[in-house]
Amino acid sequence: MFKSEQIQLGISACLMGEKVRFDSGHKRSHFCVEELGKHVKYQAFCPEVAVGMPVPRPTIRQIRKQDMIHVARPDGSGDVTEAMQAYGKKVAAKMQHLSGYVFCAKSPSCGMERVKVYHENGSGSESVGVGVFAAEVMRANPLMPCEESGRLNDAIIRENFVMRVFTYHKWQCLVETGLTKGKIIQFHSQHKYLLMAHSLKAYKELGQLLAQADFDVQTTASLYIAGLMAGLKNKATRRSHTNTLQHLQGYFKKELNKWQKAELSEQIRDYRNGLVPLLAPLTLLKHYLLAHPKAYLQSQVYLDPYPADLKLRYAY
């Protein structure tokens, strides 16, 4: 059961529809506001307004000067680099309550990647930068899932981001209750097949980490969540989902008759070959789980990693 009303995400204010852009406009994200917004609360930031820039205002860009990146107007005036870095450090240090962040793509302040960096002599630009504010947020919160608005138009990237947000939120809730060895092991047990679908390597390594007879809770917890979030960042594929589905299928080998086994195998095979979406074999597995309850499988986050009304698994 999701405590989604408690999930808080950071977001660029313009993506919420706030008219804070240089031209008094916005870049309202339908997905963030209308769809994901049903399940999360947002804390909006506009670093450009926060450092005193007016609305409307002259455009700013990243300019490389003697191997240093500056944020200023195209002619180099109105440099706000230091002010924006200071603001970024200040607010980034107070984001431990956030479970994710959505940045405005390509912005010199908020772009997560591929921000244009212009040459001082005016001889062109390269899309190699990171927004000054975004860089501070990500540096201070390396585990927090971050994505930018443009990339969320990709269905697989969108699904992966939301899945990581809900997973990270569950971990944050666990930490608030006080970590113990048993709680960490139980958390891992519930997320094993979700992790398997994204990174078999991380699945094995984290299993070995928690298999140690006597581990220090805090040290192991830090290593575990870092490994989990890194593993989940990998995009799942039809091949990796198929492997996971086949593992789940194995739990019903004694309960299903030969026709039911054949039907489930066919659904998984059709999914692997791209003939049906992931929901097809998952729905059948859930049907058999209702008919033949298994507490371990029912606890698996893989079956329902986020609210179904987000319709994110249609991408697979």
Q: How many CB atoms lie within 10 A of CB 286?
A: 15
What is the layout of strands, in order, in the sheet containing 41-45? 41-45, 8-12, 101-103, 146-148
281 phi and psi, to 5 degrees? -65, -30
Give the Cα separation of 197 and 122 in Å (integer): 47
For 143-179, what is each residue's pLDDT tens digit?
A: 999 999 999 999 999 999 999 999 999 999 999 999 9
Peptide bond into 54 cis (omega under 30): no
Give me the percent of the chain exceeding a pLDDT of 70.
98
Quote the pLDDT of residue 6.
Answer: 84
Asked which of 1-5, 52-56, 288-292, 294-298 is least confident by mean pLDDT, the reply is 1-5
The band of 2, judged by pLDDT with boundaries at 50, 70 and 90, is very low
Beta-carbon count within 10 A of 153 CB: 11
Residue 121 is predicted with a pLDDT of 77
pLDDT on residue 46: 97
For the chain, what are the domain ranges? 4-54+80-114+131-153, 155-232, 242-315
Q: How far apart are CA 300 and CA 137, in angstroms?
A: 31
Q: Work out the pLDDT band at 38, boundaries 50, 70, 90.
A: very high
Band (pLDDT 50/70/90 cuts) for residue 313 is confident
Residue 146 bridge partners (DSSP): 101
Q: Which of 210, 207, 231, 208 is nearest to 220 (CA)?
A: 210
Could you tell me which of 205, 181, 180, 179 has the C-alpha nearest to residue 192? 205
Check pLDDT > 70 for residue 9. Answer: yes
* β-pair partners for 235: none
pLDDT tens by residue, 113-128: 999 999 987 778 999 9
The token duo for 42 is 């947002």
CA dist list (Å): 13 to 72, 186, 309 = 20, 37, 25
72: its two tokens: 């200023």
d(CA 42, CA 136): 19
Report d(CA 110, CA 68) in Å as an integer.
Answer: 18
What are the tens digits of pLDDT across the range 125-142? 999 999 999 999 999 999
pLDDT at 262 over 60: yes
The bridge status of strand 61-65 relative to strand 68-72 is antiparallel
Residue 306, pLDDT above cutoff 90 = yes
Which tops the pLDDT comparison, 76 or 93?
93
Looking at residue 4, its pLDDT comes to 44
The C-alpha torsion from 272 through 275 and 279 to 285, rounded to 10°, is: -60
188-234 tens-digit pLDDT:
999 999 999 999 999 999 999 999 878 899 999 999 999 999 999 99
Please report the pLDDT score of residue 1 as a whole number: 35
CA distances from 41 to 33, 34, 68, 95, 97 (A): 10, 12, 36, 14, 11
Query: Cα-atom radius of gyration of the chain, to the nearest Å?
Result: 22
- Coil vs helix vs strand at 52: coil
Three-class DSSP labels, 85-126:
HHHHHHHHCCCCCCCCEEECCCCCCCCCCCEEEEECCCCCEE
Q: Is the pLDDT of residue 11 over 60?
A: yes
Task: List, in sequence order, every beta strand (DSSP E) within the chain.
Answer: 8-12, 41-45, 61-65, 68-72, 101-103, 115-119, 125-129, 146-148
At 213 the pLDDT is 75
Q: What is the reported pTM?
A: 0.94
* Residue appearing with tokens 């406009």: 25
